[in-house]
Amino acid sequence: MQESPAIDRERYDAVVVGARCAGAATAMLLARHGLSVLLIDRDRHGADTLSTLALMRAGVLQLHRWGLLDRIVAAGTPPITSTSFIYGDETITVPIKSRNGVDALYAPRRTVIDAMLAEAAAEAGVEVVHGARLVDLERAADGRVTAALIGEKGGGVRRVGAGIVIGADGRRSTVARLVEAPTEHACHNVCGVVYGFWPGLENGRSRWYYRPGIAAGSIPTNNGDACVFLSTPPARFHGEIRADMEAGYRRGLADCTAELAGEVAGKTPSEPLRGFPGEPGYLRRSHGPGWALVGDAGYFKDPITAHGISDALRDAELLARAVLRGTDEALAEYQEIRDDLSRKLFEITDAIAGFGWDMESLKPLHLDLSQSMNREVEALLGLDTPAQHAGRTQ
Ligand SMILES: Cc1cc2nc3c(=O)[nH]c(=O)nc-3n(C[C@H](O)[C@H](O)[C@H](O)COP(=O)(O)OP(=O)(O)OC[C@H]3O[C@@H](n4cnc5c(N)ncnc54)[C@H](O)[C@@H]3O)c2cc1C
């Protein structure tokens, strides 16, 4: 990290690195309240990324609160009006209650939701640049981050002064690395995931199947597809599935649920299957002088509880509100609230990803998960409208 040498010729209130659910949402909210914001991403606009796509109630609520849920619906994302938990041979179906503007859950393709959020950010006045990569940060003599060095498509480096640099740049966050953000809590368990998009499956209900040592699910998404995933402990993923992903996936589905295995039998997925070997979860320190982290850059947990996008949309608002208050104390409070709302989700996810459960011990974990998710919904509903920011610094 370099020391800041010069007066900024180009300056934004905030530079946000990573233009997907965490970064685009944060940038949009800041710009809606009058801040000048540069949002960059090394990917192209609308690019896909790894995900089984399920939004929990808090995520859908955020889209509703920001006036963006209609766009997800208009993109043809099917409403999910009930969720079935299938424990071995026992099925428990829970209808999605209509509350606070959310009458269904959704699982939009990342090509839909991430692109929509980046477009909403641009509409709010954010300068959005794809194909640009953060390469370094500059600090003032007192250690405060003051500028971002951005590698551009043509090979040049753009130096941009920033009131704050926000890392929304995912699990391999460059911002977290450059500011040396410490990991404050770590998970122990990981699982491997393989998923594919299948046409013509049941639409309108998400299904989550569990048997000892294996889990699977079907989540309706765009284009008439359902995302069908298989989660296994790492030994099975590395020992069996990796060598022949499709054969291992079909065998795993058959071991977990004859129903789902039968529905995809003889069919070809709409796109090649995708695999994720797993990565241990972490909660990183998420703020410091002139910097903050949001989304996976600051907080990641195993996808088996399908909560990362909802976390990102929740924390985008918590961080934006802290940045609007404009003090280091507000940033510290952002992390306190994030950690308070996340710690239980984090621990339950770690327990589920460990596959040490049987059908009877898994149910109370799901109950705890549901209570933690209700708590975060209540926290979001309790947020007032942040005051309009007084002025731009650009
Ligand atoms: C297999 C799998 C399945 C999942 N399933 C679900 C699910 O069902 N539901 C759910 O809610 N969550 C799920 N998740 C988690 C979810 O995908 C993440 O929590 C979510 O993507 C986090 O969003 P983000 O915006 O923080 O980061 P990301 O989506 O990782 O986006 C980060 C962006 O930063 C950009 N970037 C990185 N470095 C730089 C740089 N130096 N300069 C410029 N740009 C940079 C990247 O190009 C990327 O576009 C899953 C994750 C995995 C791996």
Q: What is the pLDDT of residue 60?
A: 98
Q: What is the pLDDT of residue 145?
A: 98
Ligand 1 contact via 276 beta carbon (within 6 Å): yes
Ligand 1 contact via 284 beta carbon (within 6 Å): no
pLDDT average, residue stretch 159-168? 98
Q: What is the pLDDT of residue 384?
A: 76
The rounded distance, in Å, linking the Cα atoms of 81 and 65 is 19
Percent of the chain with pLDDT over 90: 93
3-state secondary structure 225-283: EEEEEEEECHHHHHHHHCCCHHHHHHHHHHHHCHHHHHHHCCCCCCCCCEEECCCCCEE
Percent of the chain with pLDDT over 70: 95
Atom of ligand 1 nearest to the CA of 308: 19
The rounded distance, in Å, linking the Cα atoms of 22 and 16 is 10
Each residue's pLDDT tens digit, 207-230: 999 999 999 999 999 999 999 999
Ligand 1 contact via 308 beta carbon (within 6 Å): yes
Each residue's pLDDT tens digit, 290-330: 999 999 999 999 999 999 999 999 999 999 999 999 999 99
Each residue's pLDDT tens digit, 265-278: 999 999 999 999 99
CA distances from 303 to 95, 204, 254 (A): 23, 21, 21
Tokens 């491997």, residue? 192
Task: Please tell me the number of Cα atoms within 13 Å of 150 on its side-chain side.
Answer: 25
The rounded distance, in Å, linking the Cα atoms of 43 and 198 is 26
Q: Which of 195, 178, 215 is nearest to 355 (CA)?
A: 215
Q: What is the pLDDT of residue 9?
A: 73
Q: Letter for the amino acid at 56?
A: M
pLDDT average, residue stretch 42-63? 97
What spacing in Å lies between the alpha carbon of 48 and ligand 1's midpoint?
Answer: 10
Among 28, 51, 137, 229, say which to mutate for ligand 1: greatest number of ligand atoms within 8 Å of CB: 51
Residue 392's pLDDT band, with cuts at 50, 70 and 90, is very low
What spacing in Å lies between the alpha carbon of 258 and ligand 1's midpoint?
Answer: 31
3-state secondary structure of 353: helix
Residue 387's pLDDT band, with cuts at 50, 70 and 90, is very low
Q: What is the pLDDT of residue 390?
A: 36
Q: What is the pLDDT of residue 385?
A: 64
pLDDT average, residue stretch 92-99? 96
Ligand 1 contact via 18 beta carbon (within 6 Å): yes
Name which residue sits closest to atom 27 of ligand 1, judged by CA: 170
Does the structure show a pLDDT above 90 at 4?
A: no
Does the structure show a pLDDT above 60 at 389?
A: no
The rounded distance, in Å, linking the Cα atoms of 76 and 194 is 25
Ligand 1 contact via 20 beta carbon (within 6 Å): yes
Name which residue sits closest to atom 2 of ligand 1, judged by CA: 51
Does the structure show a pLDDT above 50 at 10?
A: yes
Name which residue sits closest to atom 26 of ligand 1, judged by CA: 295
Ligand 1 contact via 25 beta carbon (within 6 Å): no
Q: What is the pLDDT of residue 386?
A: 53
Q: What is the pLDDT of residue 8?
A: 58
Does the structure show a pLDDT above 70 at 288?
A: yes
pTM of the model: 0.96
